[in-house]
Structures are given as structure tokens and as C-alpha cells.
Structure 1
Amino acid sequence: MAAISVHTAVLGGGRPTLPYAETGRPGAGRDGTAIVLVHGYVDSWWTFEPLLRRMPAALHAYAPTQRGHGDADKPLDGYLPDDFAEDLIAFMDAVDIERAVLVGGSSGGVQARIVAGRRPDRVAGLVLLGVPAALADKPGVAELWETVRKLEDPVDRAFVEAFASGMTASPMGRGFLQTVIDENLKAPARVWRETLRGLLETDLRATLRGILVPTLVVWGDRDRLLPPEDQRTILDAVPDSRLLVYEGVGHVVYWEAPDRVLRDLTAFTTSTATRSASTVDGA
């Protein structure tokens, strides 16, 4: 069981201060195998707790909580995917990560792939865990927006419980799920609203362009939000990509199948480090 420590990253330049969880042996990941886990809509670093506590010491993993979410600063604006992507680069600068494998969970994969496309010098590889190609075309998301746009503080706990519990194909442990719900409730109504508005009004398919780093796409075949065609769109857009399908698993694969995710993530990270070293040696 890995030890998880929680710190604070001061991004500076008018950007928010972000808490982040960290695990792994000090100095691990200096060769480009550091891992940065990027959470999705209204989550916090806690969503990756099942992965973090299983993380081998050879991998150095970081999981920041993004602006407006959890215990991070909550500025009045800046909730477009581009804003989160810029924060992600600033976070890597703040904690001295030169290059990393970015792991995006759900909508967190949008800002991760924006960084991968724009700053390939900072990204050794990209892992997309249940990440949408687009959201505006999803009937379930349209229904969610009709509720979210009317939210007021305090956000209704029963609504959040229904939202979180619908993300998996099988029931989650009550203690973990309640922690996730508590973290979701730390996001004020305006963050629920403006973050989802940004995802719906941004051309998410355009954020798939220009990604040339190795990319692993993971999707659960019982994902009620994302159809298989959505993942095919990602594969068609990203040249160096491959798909792993988890049978019997829902939208949040890293909750339901953390051991399998970690095995696949470790293998992918090792392979990207080997490819990177081969490129350097052959240069």
C-alpha cells in the first residue's frame, strides 16, 4: 500500500493555488515517467485514491485538484478547457516536472489532450480513461445541463449522490463513494455550471488534433455515457493510439478496475520511457 502525501502548489501569475496528492519514491520519474493524473468534472484528487494507494514506488505520481474543485482556489472565472490546460502546465512547472505521462479521467482527458497536442515536449505519453470525444452530442449530458444550469448553492446532496452513483456498472464501497460525493459538493453551483458550459460550448473534437505522443485509450463496455463510436473517433484522430476495452466496467474504470488500470498504466509508462530512451540514444 503506497503512502499518499498531500501538498499545495502555488502556480503564481494570478493563477489559483492547487492541492495535490503525491506518491512514489523521491526521484522516481525524473526520466519522463512521472505520472500526472487529471480528474474530471467536479471531482478532486480523491477520485484517484484507488490508483494512488496501489501505485508502485518506481512510479512517481501526482494528482492535482483543479481550480474551483475540492479544496482548490475558486476564482470567479476561468473554467474553459483551455484554462484548465494552462493550469496543468503551470502545475507541472510549480512542482518541477519536466515531462510526464498525462492520465486523464473522464472529462479531465480533455485538458490532458490539449496539453499533449500543444506541448509535446512536456508529455511522454497520454492515457485517456473513459474520455469523451465530444459531449454536446450526448443526450445524457444535455439532460444533465438542464439540471446544472438551474443549480443554486448549496448544491443538493441528493442530486450529487445520484450523479456519482450512476458512473459505475457495479456498486462502489459506500465509504469511498461518500467521500467522492463530499468532494463533489465542495464545488459551488457556479463551478458546476461554468465548467459544464465550457465543455459543451468548446469544440472538443478539435482538441484531438495534433496529438503525436503515444496514446492509450481505455473504455468500459458498460459505460452508459460514452458509446463505442466515441472512442473510435479518438482512435481515428490520434495516429499513435490503441484501445483497451474493459468488459463489464462502467464509465469510471479507475474506480471499478483500479488493479487492471494500474497494470496497463505501468506497462504503458514503461514502454514510453523505453521509446524515449531509444530515441535519445539514436539521435
Structure 2
Amino acid sequence: METEVRRVALRTGVTLPTLLAGPRGGVPLLLLHPWGESRRTFDRLLPLLPPSTAVIAPDLRGQGAADKPDGGYSLAQMTDDVAALLEALGVATACVLGSSSGGYLAQQLAVDHPELVASLILVGAPLSLRSRPAVAADVERLSDPVDELWVRDSLSWFRLLHAVPAWYIEDRVRDGVAMPARAWKGILDGLCQAVPPTEQGLITAPTLILWGVHDSLLPRRQQETLAARIPGAHLVIYESTGHLVLWECPERVAADVVEFLGSISQA
């Protein structure tokens, strides 16, 4: 799959390094990474997608190699960045896959800009983040430079039931260390202060929801509620998998994504 990384300057005032892979034209697959990570979280997924898949994978504001301003980390502002990215790339509509909090951002995009979202794939994505997670107190104590040992400890917040390559874990450590404390705090605050997207408006895009049955953060009843709020959404439950579905099961995620995108293209 042919790839390039382009630094895209947005009307929102930030520049987002963005991986562009596969052929140009058609409806691309936009990949939105979780809080504390980067576009490289999809490095194990990309080789599993058909070479014909056009991919857009940005580093989001405050993360990866993206600009890290003092502010602008509300869910609405982060969503505006994504809409501005598609605008800058001349993309009229995209299939959108969001992992974990990236799935919260994907839902907000589908509510605020339904014309941009051809379909939606939510991978371990929350229904609501209004209840601040227990780790919020740790995040509030962060200062610069962010301690690598703290980042390593943070990766144990969610239990892994499948083996994950050491190089991939090390990449996630580098992602965390690259973020300033203000970005860690600002993004978490923005997520927790936002009105849940499905309480703001109706999501009409065809939607696939992938969830691990041992997810300690997102209970099953919330995933069932999320599916019920999106007309026609299909919930797929991964047994023996926790919250980090993309980390644990990239092969299965790729297969489910390909099957879903194929099914809606034929509808």
C-alpha cells in the first residue's frame, strides 16, 4: 500500500501530520486514534486492509507530531479539526473508524457533520464520558516533562487478554511521552465535559460497533444503549477481549471492517 505523510495546515489554526495511504479517489477510511496515542496506533491494522483501501490517519491536536497549543481541546474543537482536515484534503465524505475516545470524536463528527460521514465504525467507543475515570486524579498531577514511567504505568490501566508485540507497546510509550501535560489534561477535560454525542443529535450513518466483553471501562449495557440510539447499528461482541480491541485483535477488526464496508457498498 503506497503511503505518504503530509503536514496539513487547517483553518482551525493547527497543523496535523496525516498519513495518506492507498489510491486517491473514492470514499476513504478515516482513522481516529484514542487519547494519549497517535496515528501509529493503526500500524498493525493498515497492512491487513485491502491495498485498494484509501486511508486518512491524522495525528490529532496535542498528540503525536501534531501541533500542541495551549488550548482548543474541547470535543467540539477537536471535531472541527477533523472536519477542517477533510475540507483541506478535498474529501467530501469518508467512512470513519474511531478507536476508544477516537470513537467518541467520530460520533460527534457524525452528529455535527453528517454529510461528511458515509459510515461509522466504533471500536471500544464510549456512550458517555461524563463520569470522570478514576485515573483523572493521576492526570491532574502531571507536569512537564511527562514522566516515561508514568506513561508505562498508564498502559496497564486496561487488562490485555491477548499478546501484543513489544514494539507496539514501546510506540505507545513514545506517544505518551511526546504529549505535554496540558494536552493530557485538556483532552481528558474536553471529553468529560462534553454532552454525549448521541444526546445531542441523531446519527444516521450505517454503523458497526465492536466491543470486548471484558471491557472494564465500558459496560455491556452502555454498548447496547449506544447501538439502540443509532438506527440500524450492528453490535459485534468480541469474547476474551478487553477495552483495547484494536491492540488485541487487529486481524479480526480488519476482517470485520472489510466485511462491513463491503456490505454497505452493495446496499
TM-score by length of 2: 0.94
Aligned to 2:98: 104
Unaligned runs of 5+ in 1: 276-283
Q: Partner of 1:176: helix, strand, or coil?
A: helix
**Which of 2, 15, 22 is the aligned partner of 1:24?**
22
* Alpha-carbon offset, residue 208 of structure 1: 6.2
**1:229 matched residue in structure 2:** 221
Post-superposition offset of 1:248:
0.9
Q: Structure 1 residues 164 and 226 mapped into 2: Cα distance closer, same or farther (>3 Å)?
A: same
Q: In the alignment, what sits opposite 2:201?
A: 209
Equivalenced residue count is 266
Q: TM-score, normalised by structure 1?
A: 0.89
Q: 1:226 to 1:173 in 2, by over 3 A?
A: same
Task: Measure the CA separation in 1 of the matches of 2:199 and 2:84.
Answer: 19
Q: Select the residue among 140, 146, 153 that pairs with 1:149.
A: 140
State the one-letter code of the partner of 1:149: E
2:250 to 250, 255, 258: 258
Are the structure 2 counterparts of residues 196 and 178 from structure 1 closer, same or farther at C-alpha, using a change threshold of 3 Å?
Answer: same
CA 1:14 to 1:83, structure 2 compared with 1: closer, same or farther past 3 Å?
Answer: closer
Residue 186 of structure 1 corresponds to which residue in structure 2? 178
CA distance in 2, matches of 1:93, 1:272: 24
SS of the aligned residue for 2:44 comes to helix
Spell out, residue by residue over 1:1-34, the C-alpha distance to the aligned partner (whole angstroms, 9 max, x if none). Answer: x4543221111x242100112221333xx1x3x1
Letter in 1 for 2:144: D
Cα displacement string for residues 192-245 of structure 1 (whole angstroms, at most 9, x for unaligned residues): 011111111112254563101111110011212211112012012111201001
Q: 1:4 to 1:180 in 2, by over 3 A?
A: farther
Alignment of 1:39-118 (within 5 A): 39-118=33-112
Unaligned runs of 5+ in 2: none
TM-fit CA distance, 1:78: 0.5
Identity of aligned residues (%): 33
The equivalent of 1:10 in structure 2 is 9
